[in-house]
Chain A
Amino acid sequence: MRPFGFERPETLERAAGIVAAREDRAAPPPLSSAQFIAGGTNMADYMKLGVMRPNLLVDIGRLADPGLRRIAASPDGIRLGALVRMSEAEENADIRIGYPVIAESLQQAASQQIRNMASLGGNILQRTRCEYFRDISWACNKRDPGSGCAAMDGFNRQHAVLGVSDRCIATYHGDFAQALIALDASVETQSPRGGRTMAFSELHRLPGETPHVETQLMADELITLIDIPAKPWARRSHYLKIRDRQSYAFAVASVAVVLDLEDGAVRDVRIALGGLATVPWRAQEAEDELKGGPLDERTAGRAAEAAFAGAMPREHNAFKISLGRQALVRALLETRDMRV
Chain B
Amino acid sequence: MNEAAPLPKGNMGEPVARIDARLKVTGDARYPADLPVRDVAHAVLVTSPIARGRLTQLHTEAARAVPGVLDIIAAGDVDGELERPQFGNSGSTSIAPLHDRRIWHDGQIVALVVAETFEAASEAAALVRADFQAEEPSSGFGSPGIEIIPAAGASPLYPENPEAGDFDAAWATAEISIDETYSTPTQHHNPMELFSTTASWFDGDVTVNESSQNVTGWKNTLARQLKVDPEHVRVVSPYVGGAFGSRGPMTPRTAIIAHAARRLGRPVRCVVTRKQAYTTQTYRAETRHHIRMGAMKDGRIVAFRHEGWELTSRPDNYVVGGTGTTARMYGYGAVETKVSLVKADRNTPSYMRSPPETPYVYALENAMDEMAVALAMDPVEFRRVNDTMTEPIEGKPFSSRSLMECYDQAAEAFGWNRRTRGIGSMRDGDWLVGMGCATAVYPTNVAPCTARVRLTADGRIRVQSGSHEIGTGIRTVAAQMAAERLGAPFWSVEVEMGDSSLPPAPVSGGSTSTASVCSAVMKACDAIRARLFHAAVTANDGPLSGLAPADLGIADGRIVAGARVEAVANAMERMGVGEIEEYAEFAPEGSSADAIANLYKGKLEMRMGEEGAKVKYAFGAEFVEVRIHRLTRETRVSRLVGAFAAGRIMNPRTARSQLMGGMIWGVGCALHEATEMDRHSARYVNTDLQDYLVPVNADIQDVKVILVEEKDTDVNPAGVKGLGELGNVGTPAAVASAVYHATGKRIRDLPIRIEDLL
A residues whose Cβ falls under 8 Å from a Cβ of B: 1-3, 50, 129, 131-132, 134-135, 137, 150, 153-155, 157-158, 242-250, 252-253, 319, 322-323, 326-327, 329-330
Contact = CB atoms under 8 A, between A and B. Distances in A.
Nearest to A240: B632
A236 B676 CA distance: 40
Given A135-B687, A319-B758, A243 B634 contact: yes
Interface stretch (B187-195, B534-542, B692-700): B692-700
Interface in B79-125: 119, 122-123
A132 B680 CA distance: 14
> Closest 10 interchain pairs by CB?
A319-B755, A247-B698, A246-B698, A137-B49, A326-B631, A1-B119, A330-B631, A155-B685, A154-B678, A246-B699
Contacts of A326: 631-633, 758
A249 B754 CA distance: 14
Given A137-B49, A154-B685, A330 B632 contact: yes
Q: Which of A50, A244, A247 has the most CB of B within 10 A?
A: A244
B753 interface: yes
A246 B633 contact: no
B629 interface: yes
Given A1-B122, A3-B123, A155-B685, A245 B758 contact: no
8 contacts: A131-B691, A154-B680, A155-B677, A246-B698, A246-B699, A247-B696, A326-B631, A326-B632
Nearest to B49: A137
Contacts of B632: 242, 253, 323, 326-327, 330
B303 to A, nearest CB: 37
Given A153-B680, A247-B697, A323-B758, A2 B126 contact: yes
A119 B107 CA distance: 35
A45 to B, nearest CB: 10
A87 B150 CA distance: 57
Nearest to B430: A330
Name the interface size band of chain B: 35 or more
Given A1-B123, A150-B678, A323-B632, A244 B758 contact: no
B672 interface: yes
A246 B636 contact: yes
Interface string B623-648: 00000010111101000000000000
Nearest to B47: A137
B690 interface: yes
A131 B685 contact: yes
B123 A319 contact: no
A50 B687 contact: no
B598 to A, nearest CB: 43
B630 to A, nearest CB: 9
A131 B695 CA distance: 20
A323 B126 contact: no
Contacts of B49: 137
B126 A50 contact: yes
B266 interface: no
Nearest to A53: B126
Contacts of A154: 678-681, 685
Interface string B721-756: 000000000000000000000000000000001110
Given A131-B686, A245-B695, A323-B633, 4 more contacts: A154-B678, A242-B634, A245-B672, A252-B754
Contacts of A245: 671-672, 693, 695-696, 698-699
Contacts of B672: 244-245
Contact of A2 (B123, B690, B754): B123
Nearest to B677: A155
Contacts of A329: 631
B323 to A, nearest CB: 31
Contacts of B275: 135
A295 B49 CA distance: 52
Interface string B271-293: 00001000000000000000000
A246 B697 CA distance: 9
A242 B671 CA distance: 14
A252 B123 CA distance: 35
B255 to A, nearest CB: 26
Contacts of B754: 242, 244, 252, 319, 323
Contacts of A129: 690-691
B685 A132 contact: yes
Q: Which of B126, B636, B678 has the most CB of A within 10 A?
A: B678
Contacts of A1: 119, 122-123
Contacts of B677: 155
Contacts of A242: 632, 634, 754
Contacts of A327: 631-632
Contacts of B696: 245-248
Interface string B493-528: 000000000000000000000000000000000000
A247 B634 CA distance: 13
A127 to B, nearest CB: 13
Contacts of B679: 154-155
Interface string B421-464: 00000000010000000000000000000000000000000000
Contacts of B686: 131, 155
Interface in B32-59: 49
Nearest to B667: A245
Q: Which of A3, A134, A155 has the most CB of B within 10 A?
A: A155
Contacts of B755: 157, 319, 323
A274 to B, nearest CB: 14
Given A129-B690, A319-B755, A323-B754, A155 B678 contact: yes
Nearest to A300: B631
